[in-house]
């Protein structure tokens, strides 16, 4: 199926709604356009978990090239990284070495690297490696917390005490009920709770250096396309008499563009998660799975001449 779809011209035309090209050269104009419309960006070089040391090193080199390209193009963008892409599932020391190279290059450009959170087998290792980087003085990094895990409240509170820049998401992996809320309503309630905790820590990261171009303001990142969750965050800010810039809303490229534009018009910072790269198949399939309308759009065009 992957070979069939990736060789089908329309499949790429459809996927390009969610993926900003197969190369950084194709992604940069899209990022620049988003910047011109008021959005900040985080770029993700797509790639699944690597299976060899050579693949992990190659993925690391591609992320280093991405940081170089961001600086050369003078676009407002930071970088998101999955640790399995740079070797976590192979060798933790390899992964740490690769991550440190990325953080050092980002520091050179006064840029920021967000460590994405993956499925639960990697949660402890991801947080341990993140804390190890912070202990070495790499304060230009942050992590992701997933609201569907029972442990996330304790994790978030501990991370906030350390001044961690957190991106809050609901969570997209299939997890057992023993460790994750099985009901959407419970995930939503926990998301709101965690968002309020993060807003309450509005001085989070105040002592950490901020890039001279403001690429990574020390504010909580509220990542969701759920209009109710966004409205609840706005209400919490109003109740606490906090300015719109207290939080940064984050959304995926091509998803709920109406909400993205609305938040910008209302004066809230918005950062768009922009993936690019040749390994777009798995990412696109996840986007199709999230909304039936996306599947219908894809299938209805399959039968058109």
Catalytic residue among 40, 44, 116, 188: 116
Domain containing 68 — which CATH number? 3.20.20.220
Residue 118 and residue 194 share a domain: yes
Lowest-pLDDT choice from 21-25, 26-30, 230-234: 21-25
**Gyration radius of the chain's alpha carbons:** 19
Tell me: pLDDT of 296 over 90: no
Tell me: pLDDT of 287 over 70: no
Q: What is the rounded distance in angstroms from the CA atom of residue 228 to the CA atom of residue 30? A: 28
Residue 242 and residue 176 share a domain: yes
Q: Which of 160, 142, 141, 163 lies closest to 152, judged by CA?
A: 160
- CB of 256 within 8 A of CB of 290? no
Q: How far is CA 94 from CA 51, 85, 90, 99, 203, in A?
A: 13, 11, 8, 9, 34
Tell me: pLDDT of 211 over 60: no
Residue 207 and residue 87 share a domain: yes
Q: Is the dihedral of CA 16, 19, 20, 22 positive or negative?
A: negative
Q: Give the pLDDT score at 281.
A: 77
Q: What mean pLDDT, rounded, does the chain reach?
A: 88
Instruction: Find the domain containing 287 and state its range.
Output: 1-19+280-305
Residues 6+ apart with CB under 8 A from 212: 110
Q: Give the pLDDT score at 115.
A: 98
Q: Give the pLDDT score at 250.
A: 98
**How many domains does the chain fold into?**
2
Q: What is the rounded distance in angstroms from the CA atom of residue 269 to the CA atom of residue 38? A: 8
133-144 as b/e, with b when 16 or more CB fall inside 10 Å? bbeeebbbbbbb
Tell me: pLDDT of 215 over 80: no
Q: Work out the percent of the chain whose per-residue pLDDT is above 90.
A: 73
- CB of 94 within 8 A of CB of 67? no
Q: Which of 246, 241, 251, 294 lies closest to 272, judged by CA?
A: 251
Region label for 241, one of left (φ > 0), alpha (ψ between -120 and 50) or beta (otherwise)? left
Joined tokens for residue 7: 């060789």
Residue 180 and residue 131 share a domain: yes
Joined tokens for residue 122: 């990697």
Residue 296 and residue 246 share a domain: no
Catalytic residue among 114, 165, 167, 287: 167
Strand pairing category for 77-81 and 113-115: parallel
116 is catalytic: yes
Q: What is the rounded distance in angstroms from the CA atom of residue 88 to the CA atom of residue 172? A: 19
Residue 162 and residue 73 share a domain: yes
Residue 221 and residue 200 share a domain: yes
- CB of 170 within 8 A of CB of 224? yes
Query: Mean pLDDT over residues 69-89, rounded?
Result: 97
What phi and psi, each to the nearest 5 degrees, are found at residue 273? -85, 110
Residue 298 and residue 257 share a domain: no
Q: Which residues pair with 78 in a beta bridge?
A: 42
Could you tell me how far CA 211 lies from the centroid of its own chain? 19
Residue 160 and residue 62 share a domain: yes
Q: What is the rounded distance in angstroms from the CA atom of residue 36 to the CA atom of residue 75? A: 10
Could you tell me how far CA 47 lies from the centroid of its own chain? 14
265 is catalytic: no
Q: What is the rounded distance in angstroms from the CA atom of residue 233 to the CA atom of residue 46? A: 30
- CB of 130 within 8 A of CB of 115? yes
How many residues are recorded in the chain?
305
Residue 155 and residue 270 share a domain: yes
Residue 129 and residue 263 share a domain: yes
Band the pLDDT of 65: cuts 50, 70, 90: very high
Lowest-pLDDT choice from 184-193, 270-279, 291-300: 291-300
**Interval 216-225: pLDDT, tens:** 446 899 999 9
Residue 191 and residue 61 share a domain: yes
């Amino acid at each position: 199926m992957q070979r069939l779809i990736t060789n089908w011209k329309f499949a790429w035309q459809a996927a390009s709604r969610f993926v900003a090209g197969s190369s950084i050269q194709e992604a940069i104009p899209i990022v620049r356009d988003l910047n011109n419309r008021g959005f900040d960006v985080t770029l993700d070089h797509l790639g699944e978990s690597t299976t060899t040391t050579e693949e992990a090193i190659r993925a690391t080199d591609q992320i280093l090239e991405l940081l170089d390209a961001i600086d050369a193009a003078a676009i407002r963008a930071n970088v998101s990284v999955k640790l399995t892409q740079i070797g976590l599932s192979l060798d933790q020391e390899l992964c740490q070495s690769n991550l440190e190279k990325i953080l050092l290059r980002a520091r050179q450009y006064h840029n920021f690297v967000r460590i994405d959170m993956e499925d639960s087998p990697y949660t402890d290792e991801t947080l341990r490696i993140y804390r190890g980087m912070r202990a070495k003085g790499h304060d230009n990094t942050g992590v992701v917390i997933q609201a569907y895990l029972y442990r996330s409240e304790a994790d978030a509170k501990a991370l906030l005490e350390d001044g961690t820049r957190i991106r809050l998401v609901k969570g997209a992996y299939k997890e057992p009920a023993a460790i994750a809320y099985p009901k959407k309503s419970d995930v939503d309630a926990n998301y709101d709770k965690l968002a309020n905790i993060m807003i309450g820590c509005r001085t989070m990261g105040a002592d950490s250096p901020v890039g001279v171009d403001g690429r990574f303001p020390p504010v909580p990142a509220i990542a969701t396309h759920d209009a109710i969750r966004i409205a609840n965050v706005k209400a919490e800010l109003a109740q606490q008499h906090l300015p719109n810039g207290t939080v940064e809303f984050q959304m995926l490229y091509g998803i709920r563009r109406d909400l993205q534009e609305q938040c910008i018009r209302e004066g809230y910072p918005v950062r768009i998660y922009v993936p690019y790269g040749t390994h777009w198949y798995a990412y696109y399939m996840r986007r199709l799975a999230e909304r039936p309308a996306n599947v219908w759009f894809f299938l209805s065009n399959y039968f058109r001449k």
